[in-house]
Amino acid sequence: MVKKIIPVVDSYQERAVAVGVEIGKPKSDFTLEDSLNELCLLAQTAGIEVIATLTQRLEKPNPQTYIGAGKLEELKAIVNELGANIILFDDELSPRHLRELEKHFDENIRIIDRTALILDIFAQHAATREGALQVELAQYEYRLPRLTRAWTHLARQAGGGGGRAGSVGGVGLRGPGETQLEVDRRDIRRRIAHLKEELEKVKSHRRQYRRRRKKSGIPVVALIGYTNAGKSTLLNALSSANVYVADQLFATLDPTTRRVILPDRNEILLTDTVGFIQKLPTHLIAAFRATLEEIAEADVLLHVLDISQPTAQQQAQAVFQTLKEIEADHLPVFTVLNKIDLLKDPRQTINILEQYPNSVAISALKGLGIDDLMRKLEEFLFTRQHPLTLELPLRETYLFQLFSREGAVDKIEYSGNKIILQGKIPGRHLAKFTPYLYKFPEEKTALRELIP
């Protein structure tokens, strides 16, 4: 199916046809149309105007051109008719698909897949050295298997690297019988190795920082959510952090941590992290591992959900899937239903609140519900005692002492080299004990409602 879109921004120099393909049965709750609409928003964020969309449903991809032969001819006709200079695919194309597709179009028409588009957006928005290193690594790892002669001796620099990427190309000496393509591949591998070394230093620094942070005893709350859900706006509302905010996807990439004082003078450290998205490229998850560890090391996750979106539930599932991929799905989650000011009928929030046991409805932009959020967060973290049944190894003396000191022990049983411990603990300590939840208690623990 073809859908032509009337251009609304004449100043755009890059005009694209967006192509969405549904392969077999849907793999997520996002429909083909939902996913393609999101691709158009990504394109807009990157400064590309989508002037038409093309969709197809297939049992399996065409081994050569990804889309069928007839659909390829249809795509060529649309590109020629509308004068597009970019073709955007809503999935990651294999190196072979990319090479075969390029053979069917003029050199001045670029073929970009979803992964390359997201990497370009990240390159535009990486504001710190760490962010630049992470994006540059992801770009190189994506491009390495896709090098062709058209890559022209590393002329296309990886974004976000401040020009560093281009410096590896140089005019290096070639060995006997070595092609320019082989030289480029070798230089890229060398650059990838260097970037990984630099990011390992960043990772080590973050570990030291987290150790100092844990010694302070202040609970860490990580803001998570789908991109453009309003996390940075909420961070500003809670802490006056003055973090950059824009109504676009991936407006902020680099983690920002601020101290927040709750109503009863208890303190938390609130960390804003990169937004999630469906089909998040594996290159990005790997490159942003150091940053994403900020989420995995948090005491509680504050999930910001934009309930003004028709696909809010699908976005929530995409967030939970990413948490699983970064091994942070064991952490307790407190849900914030954001942007209630955009709802036509505010009563919609009542039904949604019932789906999330620990949740509050707010508008971070308008300041609605912020006081209620802070009170409930404080109650969850500091006041309310959450019932748990644990199976602690005897060697975990620190955790046993922590539970005895900060919580309320109701029952203790010794079984071999383990302690069966039943009691209550404040929410700020829940994450430390989730790996030791007793698997067969008759009673249900509070955590089962808090973990996605």
pLDDT in tens, 187-238: 989 999 999 998 888 778 777 776 776 777 789 999 999 988 999 899 989 8
Residue 175 C-alpha from the chain's centroid: 42
Under the banding of pLDDT at 50, 70 and 90, the label for residue 169 is very low
Angle (deg, nearest 10), helices 114-125 and 32-45: 40
Q: Cα 347–348–351 angle (5° rounding)?
A: 105
pLDDT of 45 reads: 86
Q: How confident is the model at residue 145 (pLDDT cuts 50, 70, 90)?
A: confident
pLDDT cut 70: percent of the chain above it: 81
Q: Which pLDDT band holds residue 174 (cuts at 50, 70, 90)?
A: very low
Which of 24-38, 259-273, 339-353 ranks highest by mean pLDDT? 259-273
Identify the weakest region by mean pLDDT among 147-156, 270-279, 353-362, 396-405: 147-156
Short-list 107, 139, 99, CA closest to 123: 139
Q: Between the CA atoms of 344, 349, 352 and 357, what dihedral angle is there, to the nearest 10 degrees?
A: 160
Residue 443's alpha-carbon distances to 22, 207, 448, in angstroms, are 43, 37, 11
With a cut of 60, say whether residue 158 has pLDDT above it: no
pLDDT score, position 381: 93
Beta strands in 209-318 (DSSP E): 220-225, 256-261, 267-272, 300-306
The structure's pTM equals 0.76
The confidence band for 241, taking pLDDT boundaries of 50, 70 and 90, is low
The predicted model gives 289-306 an average pLDDT of 83
Spatial neighbors of 25 by CB under 8 A, at least 6 apart, are none
Are the CB atoms for 50 and 18 separated by under 8 Å?
Answer: yes
pLDDT of residue 263 exceeding 80: yes
**For the segment 67-126, what is each residue's pLDDT rounded down to a tens digit?**
999 999 999 999 999 999 999 999 999 999 999 999 999 888 999 999 999 888 888 777
Flag the least confident range among 9-13, 372-376, 440-444: 440-444
Please give the pLDDT value at position 6: 47
Q: Where are the beta strands (DSSP E) in 60-150?
A: 86-89, 110-113
Q: Are 299 and 220 in contact (CB under 8 A)?
A: yes
Radius of gyration of the chain (CA): 25
Pairing of strands 220-225, 110-113: unpaired
Query: How confident is residue 152, by pLDDT bands cut at 50, 70 and 90?
Result: very low
Return the top range by mean pLDDT from 216-220, 296-300, 373-377: 373-377
Contact 424, 410 (CB under 8 A): yes
User: Taking all residues of the chain, what is their mean pLDDT, rounded to a whole number?
Assistant: 81
What is the percent of the chain where pLDDT is above 90? 38
Helix (H) or strand (E) holding 377: helix 370-378
What pLDDT is stored for residue 151 in this prediction?
A: 46
Strand, coil or helix: 166: helix
Say what the pLDDT of residue 255 is.
64
Query: What's the Cα-to-Cα distance from 357 to each of 36, 68, 270, 333, rounded to whole Å?
Result: 32, 46, 21, 10
Helices (H), 217-311: 231-239, 282-287, 289-296
Least confident of 81-90, 340-349, 375-384, 414-423: 340-349
Q: Are 87 and 15 in contact (CB under 8 A)?
A: no
pLDDT band at 442 (very low <50, low <70, confident <90, very high): very low
Q: What is the pLDDT of residue 8?
A: 46
- Please give the average per-residue pLDDT across 374-386, as a whole number: 92
